[in-house]
Amino acid sequence: MATEAMTGAATNGAKRPLMRKVLPYLLSLPALLVCIGILIPFGTAAWYSMQRYNLAFPMTRGFIWFDNYIMLFQDPSFWHTVRVSLLYTFFTVGVQLLLGLGIALLLQRRTLFNNIMSILLLLPLMIAPAIASLMWRLMTNPNFGVLSYIVGLFGFTDFRWASAPSTALFTVVMIDTWVYTPFMMVLLLAGLRALPRQPFEAAELDGVPQSFVFFRITLPMLTPYIITAALFRMLESIQQFDIIYAMTQGGPGNTLMVFQVTAYLERYQYTNVGRSAAILMVLWVITFILSNIFIKQWLRLREKARGVA
């Protein structure tokens, strides 16, 4: 039956089929094109960052090597941007790590209530950060905002939230915390639940105090998860745009001018393409270093998870 057809085709069995070599490249071609699509504008951005390039003054355009960078590093407003970005990153990641770990520990046991709770707590993470900011704008409105009303009950009658320089950072950090703590929580919870049980059972048999168990067993074993989650959040926080832009567009004044908001305004308000690109390149260097560390850490964790499965 089919045997005949097959032996008929066997004449080409002596040659290495070309298709076998080409197939992997063929399959990944579209993804490759998308890759090139990213790399070209990336190269363009690097190119712009070394040009005097302001859309308002097209005649002055020209190649100026690293002058944009030198000017940036001499400009106090750039260092203000660096400072605000780092503060934002530090506070968001710090608060979210502690809060996320705390919640994960509270929900560690697999009870129905805990499982439902952990799903519900994920909801803020599913809301677009820009939309989340709008929600908080409604709640912190000085005229009718429910949060303004509540803090008013505690004596803060003129609490201005994001519109006052003194509380603006606090407000956006809180929104960021509201959106992204669930991410920390869910990763650390999965980490906690994946820990081997024997050390804990042994500690319980020995009557070791809970604080000792936490600091000497839980925390060290959870560290890879904590590092992965923290690095991931750092990568996102240092380039936060949506929340701050939707909340205050970098204001009041220049209070919240983080990297990407500064670059955006530089480009669209002051039409200074060269300077905007230089700011973004500086940010890219930071994220590149961070992401390399993160990817290594993540791959290690991934290997481990797949080893378990």
Partner 1 sequence: MTYLSLTAVSKRFKDDVVLDKASLAIDRGETVVVFGPSGCGKTVLLRLIAGINEPDEGRIHIAGNEVTFLEPEQRNIGMAFQNFALYPHMTAFDNIASPLKARGMKGTEIARRVEEVGELLKIGHVLHHLPKALSNGQKQRTSLGRALAANPRLLLLDDPLRNVDAKLRYEMRIELPRVLKAFQTTVIYVTQDYKEAMALGDRVAVLMGGGFKQIDHPSEIYKDPDSLDVARLFGDPTVNVVDGRIADGAVELLGLRFPLPGHLDPGPCRVALRPESIEVTLDETAAGSMPVDVGDEGRHGLAVELDAVTPLNVRAVMLLKTADGKELLATCSEDEATRLPRGHKNVTAHIRAADLLFFDQAGARLRPRPN
Partner 2 sequence: MQRQTSLGRVVRVGLLTMVGLFFLFPIFWVFLMSFQTNQEILRIPPSLFFEPTLHNYQVLFSGRLETQTGTLEVRFMQNLMNSVILATSSVALSLVLGIPAAYAFARFKFRLGEDIAFTLLSFRFAPPLLVLLPLAIYFQQLGLINTYTGLIWVYQLITLPLILWIVRGYFEDISEDIEHAYRIDGNGWFKTFWKIAIPLAKPGIAAATLLSFIFAWNNFVFALILASADKQPVTVGALAFVTASGIQYGQIAASIVLSVTPTLALALYAQRYLVEGLSLGAVKG
Residues 13-42 that bind partner 1 (CB under 8 A): 13-17, 20
Binding of partner 1 at residue 10 (CB under 8 A)? yes
Judged by beta carbon, residue 2 or residue 153, the one nearer partner 1 is 2
Taking the complex as a whole, the smallest distance from the CB of residue 238 to partner 1 amounts, in Å, to: 41
With contacts defined by CB under 8 A, how many residues of the chain interact with partner 2? 99
Judged by beta carbon, residue 70 or residue 128, the one nearer partner 2 is 128
Residue type for position 212: F
Residue 12 binding result from partner 2, partner 1, none, given CB thresholds of 5 to 8 Å by partner type = partner 1
Candidates 95, 164, 200, 226: give the one binding partner 2 (CB under 8 A). Answer: 200
Residue 256 contacts residue 243 (beta carbons within 8 Å): no
> What CA–CA distance (Å, rounded) separates 112 from 114?
5
Candidates 7, 17, 35, 79: give the one binding partner 2 (CB under 8 A). Answer: 35
Residue 180 binding result from partner 1, partner 2, none, given CB thresholds of 5 to 8 Å by partner type = none
Candidates 11, 74, 166, 198: give the one binding partner 1 (CB under 8 A). Answer: 11
Residue 18 binding result from partner 1, partner 2, none, given CB thresholds of 5 to 8 Å by partner type = none
CA angle 167, 172, 176 (to 5 degrees): 145
Residue 11 binding result from partner 1, partner 2, none, given CB thresholds of 5 to 8 Å by partner type = partner 1
* Residues within window 151-170 making contact with partner 2, judged by CB under 8 A: none
Encoded one letter per residue, x for contact with partner 2 by CB under 8 A and - for no contact, window 77-96 reads --------------------
* Residues within window 248-287 making contact with partner 2, judged by CB under 8 A: 259-260, 263-264, 267, 273, 276-277, 280-281, 283-284, 287
> What CA–CA distance (Å, rounded) separates 136 from 173?
12
- 57-65, 83-91, 164-172, 234-242 -> range binding partner 2 (CB under 8 A): 234-242
* Residues within window 169-188 making contact with partner 2, judged by CB under 8 A: 178, 181-183, 186-187
Residue 162 binding result from partner 2, partner 1, none, given CB thresholds of 5 to 8 Å by partner type = none
- 5-13, 173-181, 242-250, 279-287 -> range binding partner 1 (CB under 8 A): 5-13
* Residues within window 272-301 making contact with partner 1, judged by CB under 8 A: none
Contacts of 39 (CB under 8 A, 6+ apart): none
Binding of partner 1 at residue 2 (CB under 8 A)? yes
> What CA–CA distance (Å, rounded) separates 30 from 101?
40
Six token digits for residue 59: 């005649």
Binding of partner 1 at residue 74 (CB under 8 A)? no
The DSSP secondary structure of the chain, one letter per residue, reads -HHHHHHHHGGGGGS--HHHHHHHHHHHHHHHHHHHHHHHHHHHHHHHTTEE-BTT-GGG-EE-TTHHHHHHHT-HHHHHHHHHHHHHHHHHHHHHHHHHHHHHHHT-S--HHHHHHHHHTTHHHHS-HHHHHHHHHHHT-TTT-HHHHHHHHTT-TT--GGGSHHHHHHHHHHHHHHHHHHHHHHHHHHHHHHS-SHHHHHHHHTT--HHHHIIIIIHHHHHHHHHHHHHHHHHHHTT--HHHHHHTTT-STTTT--HHHHHHHHHHTS-BHHHHHHHHHHHHHHHHHHHHHHHHHHHHHHHHHHHH-
Residue 109 binding result from partner 1, partner 2, none, given CB thresholds of 5 to 8 Å by partner type = partner 2
Q: Which residues of the chain form contacts with partner 1 (CB under 8 A)? A: 1-3, 6-7, 9-17, 20
